[in-house]
Amino acid sequence: MFADAGRRKKTNDLHSAWFNGDGYESWENVWGIWNGITPYDGEAIRRVGAMLRHFGGEGFLQSPEWEPHTLEVFQDGIYASKFPLAARRATLWTVVNRKPGNMLVDLTVKEGRNYFDCYHGTQLHSVPMGANNLAHVSGPRVSFPIEPYGFGCVFETDEEPSDKLTNFLQHMQKITTKPLASYDYKWKPLPQQMVEIPPTARTTEAPMGTVLVPHEPNFVFVVSGVEIEGDALPTAVDVQYPWEDHPQRQHIHHMSVGPFYMDKYPVTNANYSAYLEATGFRPDDDYNWLKNWKGSTTAPDGMTDLPVQYISLEEARAFCAWKGARLPHSYEWQYAAQGTDGRTYPWGNDKNQSKFPVEKSGNTFLGSEPVTAHAPDGDSVFGVSDMVGNVWQYTDEFQDDHTRSVILRGGSNYRPSGSDWYFPQAKALNTHNRYFLFDHSYERAGTVGFRCVVDAADDASPISV
């Protein structure tokens, strides 16, 4: 099986699969970016797939006498493999054209046998040696056309065609009537949309437990996705903000941000316990919901000051809405953490371990730290605490026609050991990661929490917390 891990053009991969009589798998969704197949490549896959399925099912592509680069096909730029099957007294040739022009391909053959162009679905008739002045041909031959960068197929048998072969040839004749070159080959990225976060009612007074993040008319939002791989893709494996024309890993934008009131700390187990008591909320599917509460709907003793975890994105939104708040946009979160000087961490540019939780690895998640553990030394310039290294925090959701994801900010205090492929950290404020959304039970994770914001009036005043 030949796997295509996201290349924009499929011709080389399809040539390899067909020449080698191998299967083909194309990853249209590569790390959450829809690497869609062009009409040209889709049609090529349809044709090659039909031939692979037919002759693979007939056993030819498993021939122990497989002969790659057979010398029976000899034109420049044309390459063929030969798959004899002695038990069937028949042979298959898989042919590819590596040149940009139409070719008429010659194949030396034997007298008294039947030959079929199984790409075009027609029978071939041999020409005696010396016809058309082909002095280099040492015996009778058949000729068949092959398109630019196209595919060829010849089948030899000493029997009359079976009903199965006849049906296959008729199918190939039908689907190859239109030249491949007539199909659109231009790749286009699939656009993403950032899901709207409706503003809250503006207030002049800080809700309990919040701090004011003032208006900034010219915030320079600079951030990069840290997802594994993807730079070689047509578009990188990240997101498309509203001011961008396609998904990309690097983002920079000058924008007006604020004012808003942001929770000084991430939402805690005590906060969420109060919400449950007030609303009676229980999810329909409670798999992994508040997993570390071990079945209780009241925050366990000793855990009240820990950030609430094992909460889905929609459940986090519902909590914020109950407070008359909302989740922050990713650029609001970054501005609240970074201020206006582009610092790397909320407290400055030095990665001072005393100001954020120590990251633990291994195969067991030991839990988070109290949200107050590194305040005020780890606070941002606006006095927002616990923004880095304790739990990831939900911000913006992005969607396209096939995927949903949410931008997580701040990193966490745990990353399993044993594989660099696991969700990379993004503790630096100019980085983020992208978390894919499927359903509530999937999204609930011990390393993910959230905080809320409320939009502030222009004359809002800070109140000490």
pLDDT digits (tens, 9 = 90+) for 323-362: 999 999 999 999 999 999 999 999 999 999 999 999 998 8
Percent of the chain with pLDDT over 90: 80
Please tell me the predicted confidence (pLDDT) of residue 75.
Answer: 87
Mean pLDDT of 12-26: 92
Kindly tell me if the per-residue pLDDT of 6 is higher than 70: no
Number of neighbouring beta carbons within 10 Å of residue 465: 15
Please tell me the predicted confidence (pLDDT) of residue 7.
Answer: 67
279-328 pLDDT tens trace: 999 999 999 999 999 999 999 999 999 999 999 999 999 999 999 999 99
Name which residue leads in pLDDT, 463 or 60.
60
60-69 pLDDT tens trace: 999 999 999 9
Lowest mean pLDDT among 181-190, 233-242, 243-252, 295-304: 233-242
Kindly tell me if the per-residue pLDDT of 132 is higher than 50: no
The CATH number of the structural domain formed by 2-182 is 2.60.40.1180
Tokens encoding 46? 């349809």
Please tell me the predicted confidence (pLDDT) of residue 133.
Answer: 46
Omega into 259 within 30° of 0, i.e. cis?
Answer: yes
Specify the CATH superfamily of domain 193-455: paralog of FGE (formylglycine-generating enzyme) (3.90.1580.10)
pTM for the whole structure: 0.85
95-108 pLDDT tens trace: 999 999 999 999 98
* pLDDT category of residue 111 using cuts at 50, 70 and 90: confident
Percent of the chain with pLDDT over 70: 94
In Å, what is the CA distance from 11 to each residue of 4, 8, 182, 188, 438? 11, 10, 15, 17, 33
Strands, E, within 58-121: which ranges?
Answer: 67-68, 78-85, 90-97, 103-108, 114-117
Please tell me the predicted confidence (pLDDT) of residue 26.
Answer: 80
Please state the domain extents for the chain.
2-182, 193-455
Give the sheet arrangement for strand 453-455, strand by strand. 210-213, 260-263, 453-455
